[in-house]
Structure 1
Amino acid sequence: MNVAPVLAVDAALDFHDNLGAAVKQARLRFLRDRWVQPLRDVGNLEILTPDECGMYSAITAFRLRGRTTEADNAAIADRLMNEHRIFTVARTGMAGGGAVRVTPALFTSAEDIDRFAAARREVCRQDGRS
């Protein structure tokens, strides 16, 4: 058993209590909105998570229009990792086909999000349908 996570529970709960849930949620929404809003105009990019307040926090899924297979989205996630060192997760089982999930963390910097948005735009552009 890995005891490190167990030993860190008290510190994690103290951190959460000191920071507060509202501050954490605001930070995660800020990071999510920072990459989603500039990419709304990319024609071949489907952002699957709604923008309505209360319907999202940090996690957002996207896919390239018409690219719904597990292999399609695994290739996008692999490309983001291999070419840009950006970790995302290919997901299946969603209505309309697979997608790629992006999950920023509290410690994710705004610069990291900007780098992701630029990489995401490049992948869409190279797809030839943007």
Structure 2
Amino acid sequence: MTDTTRARPDSSPSTSHPVERRPRRRWARGVDRPQYLRAEDIDRLGIMMVALMSEVSALRDRLDTHEAVAELGSPVTREAIEAYELTPERRERREVERQALLKRVLRVITEDREAALESAPGDAA
């Protein structure tokens, strides 16, 4: 059995008054859930997210190039990075990683879309 009372901070221990503790809700539900974005902002947010994903992808490619130049034993300079020739194997690995990034980031959208398509009645195309 847990103690549901506690002493008030402004009173001494000998004259403490029990205070009933009520459990707090940890998250908003239903109509209490806050709305941060208007409907027209959702498209803008999607555009920003795709722009950030492309920046992350470019940074990953750049980092992979740094690693490749270092593996060749060359000093990692701007000139060496710009002159690096991408191998077909590395190109394929980058594409696999890029697709995995897209799948992870867009998972919520694609799952919702697939669920909506599956539940659509009469769409036997």
Task: Report the structure, 1 or 2, having the larger strand content.
Answer: 1
Looking at both structures, which has the greater relative contact order when contacts are Cα pairs under 8 Å and sequence separation is at least 6? Answer: 1
What TM-score results when the alignment is normalised by the length of structure 1?
A: 0.28
Which one has a bigger Cα radius of gyration?
2
TM, length-normalised to structure 2? 0.29
Structure showing the higher helix proportion among its residues: 2
